Structure 1
Amino acid sequence: MTDSQNQQLTTRWATMDDLPAFKAVMQLAIDTLQADVLTPEQVVASHAVMGLDTQLIRDGTYLIAERDGEIAGCGGWSNRATLFGGDHSTDLRNPELLDPARDPAKIRAMYTAPAHVRQGVGRLILKTCEEAAAAAGFTSVEMMATLAGERLYAVAGYRAVERVEVMAGEVSLPLVRMRKAF
């Protein structure tokens, strides 16, 4: 990544008005970036368990990274028990508040627009979310990573603690629970 690319990236906390724009980014990221690690059936099925939980926006913990007015990526952190899943995956959601003294904050719904991968977007979002979670008193964070994101998170200091298969209808999706202490 060049210095000019890094300087052009800006971040801000999302509002509900941003939903249409970053839903398009999510759709494209899921369909494009997972194609190298999942079968076509798994990519399609992953939409059932991935997506945005709008509670993150209401909590003020969902971040957008922009470059030249275009959404380059998005992601958030949460002080709630939900580990992953969007508004449509209600069986995965748990709005219970976490205790920073004992629970890790959750890193959630990380997506990079395909045109912006490997340009520091994911790292910037991740770092900003980690800093916000630490400022809220958390001493660690965890996430449920896709295989496509696992490398980025490992480089950022996360370690795999559990490999799981989640069912989306009749299709099994591999995911990795990852954790990082501050």
Structure 2
Amino acid sequence: MTLTHRLATPDDLGALRALVDLAIAELLKGFLTDEQIRSSAAIMGLDTQLIDDRTYFVIESDGVLAGCGGWSRRATLYGGDHSATRDTSLLDPAKDPAKVRAMYTHPAFTRRGVGRLILGLCERAAAAEGYTRLELMATLSGEPLYRSYGFQEVERIEDDRGGAPVPIVRMVRTIRNEPGVHSGP
């Protein structure tokens, strides 16, 4: 299996939204109750600001959508277009971490390197703009990937904006800025 990547465009929105919905519905099973999964769908989602900013990646395998995710130079840590807590103010690379955002893998492509590819793309792009740290808000199903990539837990919270409280984990990682070298662990 060969994975390719490209920047997402507005033409991808329908397919990306379908992937996000499927990933939330399927990949959180075993970690959350059905009620929490429904709440997750209300809390999480696609933030089209990332597409507008050209920081959101589409991952494909032989032309099939395998995953998506990106990074942001804006203050919002997580949540989709519908989130009331979105903050589009720009971050300062000298003091703020870039945000890894909206990572989703198609259930048929889990454990095949999609997440690691996205993290590497995000890390290199953020480093190129002068960022030295990354921050993200992990779902319980994503937490093992982020830990294996070198992210460390900062805090655990529960977001109840979707109804049932959903446990999530804020995590950070220092960027390993070595030109030409994959910066994963």
- Secondary structure at the aligned position of 2:115 is classed as helix
**Superposed counterparts of 1:1-182, under 5 Å:** 5=1, 8-89=2-83, 91-182=84-175
| Residues 143-168 of structure 1: CA deviation (Å, up to 9, x unaligned) | 00000000000000000101001113
Cα deviation 1:54-112 (Å, max 9, x = unaligned): 000000000010001111000000000000000011x2200000000000000000000
Question: How far is the alpha carbon of 1:169 from its aligned partner?
Answer: 4.0
Q: Structure 2-normalised TM-score?
A: 0.93
TM-score, scaled to structure 1: 0.95
Aligned-residue CA RMSD in angstroms?
0.7
Q: Which has the higher helix share?
A: 1
Structure 2: runs of 5+ lacking an equivalent: 176-185
Deviating beyond 4 angstroms after TM superposition, the runs of 4 or more aligned structure 1 residues are none
Q: In 2, distance between residues paired with 1:168 and 1:113?
A: 25
Does the 8 Å CA contact 1:13/1:63 hold for their aligned counterparts? Answer: yes
Q: Secondary structure at the match of 2:30?
A: coil
Quick one: distance in 2 between partners of 1:101 and 1:131?
16
Residue 36 of structure 1: SS of its match in structure 2? coil
| Helix, strand or coil at the partner of 2:126 | helix
